[in-house]
Chain A
Amino acid sequence: MSSVPQGMPAVQLEPELRALVSHADDNLVLAQRLGEWISNAPDLEIDIALGNIALDHLGVARALYTRAGEIEGQGRSEDDFAMRRTEREFLNLLLVEQPNGDFAHTVLRQFFFDVYQRLLWEDLSGSDDDAVAGVAARGRKESAYHHEFSSSWVVRLGDGTVESHARAQTAVDSLWRFTAELSDPYPDSWRGEVERVFADAGLIRPDDPYQRSGGREGYHTEHLGFLLAEMQWMDRTYPGMTW
């Protein structure tokens, strides 16, 4: 497609490995974004909730990178995947790299992702790969807990004050263009759950059919580069550092 930017060629990975790295990248990038809220959340309870959710995503990423390294068999560690790959090699969804914005943006981003990841874990808990099936079995419970948090906040904001409703709807309108990429594998169930919560929240799905994609091929929005620069600078400045 001519609309995707040219540049470094896509990284070639075996399909199984590619899928694992994609899921790990989603979780690492989202964890990094959520971590930006620490000490800045609207109140202490939310600060702790976002920090806890971030830790779960980070733990998932670590387990999946470790497994990916074992399958690849080239001796790559979780840190090699997280800290020593370029933007073009990251295969995460565009949604998770989007900036936090206000709390409504963060909540809607989390909600869209939680609905997707719950469906993914259901799928993967039947995986032939023992390690992946185990991560998925644990992930199911964790994502359900995250989903409870994000969906209840979608309803509280959407069905709250004039101001909170407007902010929630603005977040929906600006993030919707990144949702085809994650609803793709499970279009009906993803959309069904989102519409159920939107109905409670009084939020409206945008009419605009424009959708961005490319994250799974390593073509990202401008935001990922900045996120990686902040996340990776220390390891790149002091290669192999430990503490």
Chain B
Amino acid sequence: MVTALSTDLRSVVASVVDPEIPVLTIDDLGILRSVETEGRRVIVTITPTYSGCPAMRQIEDDIVVALNRHGFEEIEVRVTHNPAWTTDWISEEGQRKLAEFGIAPPTDESQVLCPRCAADRPRMVARFGSTACKALMACSSCGEPFDYFKQY
């Protein structure tokens, strides 16, 4: 019974999406460490991505809201910094969703492929992109600009 409950709980929390890349859930991103209960209290532990990611606070709030909707009222979101998050924790499913969304998934900069036409050797336009996790590149074949999720 307890196991069933925590499986449900985990899936509720795991379905919260990244507000800046809404195709990814926090589970795809690999930042959800654990979901536990202590009596009526739900304790969710997450690992932040980049120090400067402003989405983290929003994600904490969204976790609380998602659990509230399922009738849980006492919620604590804990943040753990160690081990530090890396893009290796993004699931394969997450990588696929990123590419479909038009964002080149994290890989070595020299291996990046255009998410639209799959041509190699895109040009780096700006190493600092629209969010902390992305750089801006442009395809050298189709000419389309695209975001690249920085390997980290």
Task: Spell out A's residues near B (CB within 8 Å).
Answer: 45, 48-49, 51-60, 63, 130-131, 133-135, 137-139, 141-142, 145, 148-149
Contact = CB atoms under 8 A, between A and B. Distances in A.
B51 A134 contact: no
Contact of B85 (A58, A60, A138, A148): A138
B132 A56 contact: yes
Given A49-B128, A54-B52, A57-B52, 12 more contacts: A45-B128, A52-B52, A55-B132, A59-B50, A63-B48, A133-B81, A133-B82, A134-B84, A137-B82, A138-B85, A139-B51, A142-B51
Contacts, number: 72
A56 B51 contact: yes
B152 A141 contact: yes
Contacts of A49: 126-128
A75 to B, nearest CB: 16
B69 to A, nearest CB: 23
A58 B84 CA distance: 17
Contacts of A54: 52
B50 A138 contact: yes
A59 B128 contact: no
B140 interface: no
Contact of A52 (B48, B83, B84, B128): B128
Given A55-B52, A58-B52, A59-B52, A131 B132 contact: no
